[in-house]
Amino acid sequence: MRPWYLGNTTVRSPFRLRDGLIALANSPLGGHIKGRENEIAFAWVLHNSGVANIVRPTADVSDLGRKWRAALSQLGFIYPEVPSREGIPQADLGEPFTVTPNGRRLIESETVPGMQECFLRSLAAYYIPSALERGYPFSVFSPLRHTLAIMIELERRTGESRLNFLEMGLHVQLTSSDNPLADVLSGILTFRAEREAAPNKRRFDQEALTAAAAEHNYVAGTFKDYADTNFRYLKATGLVQGKGRGIAIVPEKRVFVEQLVADTGIPDSDRSLLIALCNGATLPTDNRDTALIVLDDLVAQLNRRGVPFTVVGRPVQTPADIAIIRHEIEHTLAELNEDEYAGRQAQEWNEIANYMDLLINPRRRHAADNDDALSIPQAEAPAYFEWVLWRAFLAIDSLVNKPYDARRFKIDQDFLPVSTAPGNGPDLIFEFENFVVVVEVTLTESSRQEAVEGEPVRRHVAELVARYEKPVYGMFLANRIDSNTAETFRIGVWYARDDTRMRLDIVPLTLVQFKVFFEAMFTSRNVHVTAIRELLDTCSTFRPSLYAPEWKAQIEQTVQAKAASLLAGQ
């Protein structure tokens, strides 16, 4: 059996496709990314836009451009080039490798739910085999609906829709709608029971992968790679979320998923399939009656959570009318979920510290509570740096502002970062009763650190000093603080447009130093935000009398001394 997968194994992080699409749309290469020279040019466009990273400038990077072209074509964000043997006029679609309507919708989406809807419309229109992907030994089917149908049936039989990682890798992605649902569930539940009974689960997993590799003539790692990709793209639809070593249906989307799975039809032709892929599939909520069913469920969910809501007096004549109300409720539910997530962070401080360690030492591994390993995708490290500091301050608590107002980066339904904060403001803003902490982070370590961060960080802090009546502190974090950066912050001056001189309190800390202090607070059970303020105040007192190298050394001593003091008082 040939395993199938959603999306693209090269571009594992679906939301990066949007960045690549924007880079292509803003370049003169639209429609011209085929052929070695054009593929190389496209690769450099991706590199120069910060989407990809070309390490060796002299290397042949045409394969990078080719893989990104395939990823964007496969999901219908750019028009695919239809093989002539298929007999489908290219004109029925559009000019190859130019942005499609669904691709344009993805570019224009500014919110995570908006982006997720684009991925959902793409994957809901994705059927295999097709004119673009032959060679599968099964009838045409929708991998998205097939997987969701399995998860709904799992919920009916076990009480939860959770689908584990190897259950996807060794069962779901090796089946299709040709396989009776009962047989697929039987295989999954038998595998689950055998694994639960196994005395050594790691050995059981490896033996299962080895057996699958022998049976299907694939390298064992392929099943894991495909399962990882499938999980990532399924999450990009917003319909599922992480649960332990697997995924589960998002509770708020349960009724919508039922309606989507109920659509078992297949496109009447490859031409219809490709047109739908490029335009985005029609969703259940595009129909007024179905949209009302989904809306009623969302209203009931909100009311059950103690937030009264009614649609009385609101227009519901069209699917568009209903969508406005539905998005409003979904936004409120997301905020409620984020408030609950924030409340759990104090209990998860050890995991937060482990993520810091992964940013400090990317090659290390940390086992999570579910026996899986924590990881940070290399391309997403900058976003995770902001995310882990956000979690750290949520764990410290005492915030006056809401968790979603403290961050400027976007998160998904698993509260994981989708992107870094936009460049027109600080990364993080934490307001407390008597002061404000503005946090800026960077993975840049060279002498360019000052050039890239010095002016924006000071400007962002200055803007907030002007906004708040309470003291504002800047906290700048990196794995290594360049002395030129430290000197800029040591001087700590900003001039407004009217030449008013403003003193800025910005303290540069390494992530190691912050981690030491963070762990000391929680280990000693002496978690008070005033300790953060005292640390920043003490570090700032040395500014007038020391130059940058000496100031950095004094900051190190201060962190160690205060951490030791916390631990001594436990």
pTM: 0.90
Between the alpha carbon of residue 65 and those of residues 33, 45, 53, 73, 239, the distances in Å are 7, 9, 12, 12, 30
CA distance 372 to 354: 13
Residue 40 lies in a domain: no
Q: How many residues does the chain have?
A: 570
Predicted pLDDT at 371: 47
Predicted pLDDT at 365: 65
Predicted pLDDT at 55: 83
Domain range for residue 386? 342-568
CA distance 501 to 226: 57
CB 399 within 8 A of CB 430: yes
Residue 257 lies in a domain: no
CA distance 34 to 31: 8
CA distance 408 to 422: 7
Residues facing 242 on adjacent strands: 247
- SS3 letters for 514-532? HHHHHHHHHHCCCCCHHHH
Predicted pLDDT at 400: 96
Q: Which two tokens stand for residue 405?
A: 């107002």
Residue 123 lies in a domain: no
Strand order in the sheet with 240-243: 163-164, 246-249, 240-243
CA distance 476 to 526: 23
Say which residues have a Cβ less than 8 Å from residue 180's Cβ, sequence separation at least 6: none
Predicted pLDDT at 370: 44
CA distance 362 to 310: 49
Predicted pLDDT at 366: 62
Query: Which DSSP letter does residue 380 get?
Result: G
Predicted pLDDT at 130: 93
Query: Which DSSP letter does residue 438 get?
Result: E
Helices 511-523 + 529-541 axis angle, to 10? 140
Cβ atoms within 10 A of the Cβ of 179, count?
17
Residue 47 lies in a domain: no
pLDDT in tens, the chain (570 residues): 899 999 888 888 899 999 999 999 999 999 999 999 999 999 999 999 989 888 888 889 999 999 999 999 999 999 999 999 999 999 999 999 999 999 999 999 989 999 999 999 999 999 999 998 888 889 999 999 999 999 999 999 999 999 999 999 999 999 999 999 999 999 999 999 999 999 999 999 999 999 999 999 999 999 999 999 999 999 999 999 999 889 999 999 999 999 999 999 999 999 999 999 999 999 999 999 999 999 999 999 999 999 999 999 999 999 999 999 999 999 999 999 999 999 999 999 999 999 999 999 987 766 554 446 788 988 889 999 999 999 999 999 899 999 999 999 999 999 999 999 998 899 999 999 999 999 999 999 888 899 999 999 999 999 999 999 999 999 999 999 999 999 999 999 999 899 999 999 999 999 999 999 999 999 999 999 999 999 999 999 999 999 999 999 999 999 999 999 999 985
- SS3 letters for 249-286? ECHHHHHHHHHHHHCCCCCCCHHHHHHHHHHCCCCHHH
Cβ atoms within 10 A of the Cβ of 206, count?
12
Residue keyed to tokens 């370590």? 445
CA distance 367 to 245: 12
Which phi and psi angles does 207 have, rounded to 5°? -65, -35
Number of compact structural domains in the chain: 1
Residue 371 Rama label (left phi>0; alpha psi -120 to 50; beta): left
CA distance 396 to 349: 9
Residue 441 lies in a domain: yes
Q: What is the DSSP string of 386-400?
A: HHHHHHHHHHH---S
Residue 363 lies in a domain: yes
**Cα 427–chain centre separation:** 16
Residue 332 lies in a domain: no
Of residues 461, 398, 454, 467, the one with CA closest to residue 428: 461
Residue 518 lies in a domain: yes
Of residues 123, 105, 23, the one with CA closest to residue 68: 23
CATH assignment at residue 481: 3.40.91.50
Predicted pLDDT at 570: 58
CB 22 within 8 A of CB 16: no
Predicted pLDDT at 10: 81
Residue 463 Rama label (left phi>0; alpha psi -120 to 50; beta): alpha
